[in-house]
Amino acid sequence: MSRRYLGEAFDIHGGGLDLRFPHHENEQAQSRAAGYGFAQLWMHSAWVTQSGAKMSKSLGNGLLVSEVIERWSAAALRLALAQVHYRSMLEYSDSVMDDATATWARLAGFVARATDAVGAVSADEVGGAALPAAFVDAMDDDLAVPRAMALVHEAVRAGNGALAAGDTAAAREALVSVRAMLDVFGLDPMDEHWAVGSSGADAAMQALDVMVAADIEARAAARAAKDWAAADAIRDRLAAAGIVVEDSADGARWSLAPRD
């Protein structure tokens, strides 16, 4: 099958880490014995687990994508799966999906706001844009996706700052950079597959991001003015609405509170 579709030799063979021996060794031995180069690189991925157990047919704890996207958007699911290093276990849970949903809302919300401010950017421009060197280095380092995604979030923060300052040139630069990096993961929010607002869930999360972003900016202004009471009141109001705000050296980020 691989020779039919990929040729006698191809770059990458993927599979679960439990297949390293003897399954993949047997595949390689059989192919090379037949005179074919087979795969150049073998990438063994960790499992998606649920309640600490590997999802598998034998355990009967697998989930169909069609079932998952009845509760969460397809983009949030792809983001949840894509942002973890391929050799790291991913524990599937409501909390993980809630976090991915909130993260997608922040990313898509920035893209929507920036596009409204600076105008539409074509897919050709996004596809031809030079990726940040640090992003390329991260992806070239055994697909260090968490490092690469951190750079996406840095660019979003810079873009939000540019929008707040009215710097449309910097905002447009950030917009193109964010979309180009997300496009590597098949997650450009303006792609036709998940255009911003293409579903009710995405539209609702985009609206939530706009409102929460405004509160976070107001809280940052209160903290800068040392008006701690006002800052705490904003944080408490968001917490009462199920929004968790976390402060870091790179600024505040929000997520949905874990479900009971």
d(CA 152, CA 168): 19
pLDDT band at 228 (very low <50, low <70, confident <90, very high): very high
Tokens of 6: 């990929």
* Mean of pLDDT values over 236-260: 76
Residue 234 and residue 218 in contact, taking contact as beta carbons nearer than 8 Å = yes
In the predicted model, is pLDDT for residue 120 greater than 90? yes
Residue 246 has pLDDT above 60, yes or no: yes
The yes-or-no verdict on residue 249 having pLDDT over 70 is: no
The more confidently predicted of residues 138 and 19 is 138
pLDDT of residue 180: 98
Domain limits, the chain: 1-45, 97-256
CA distance 213 to 219: 10
The pLDDT confidence band at residue 197, using thresholds 50, 70 and 90, is very low
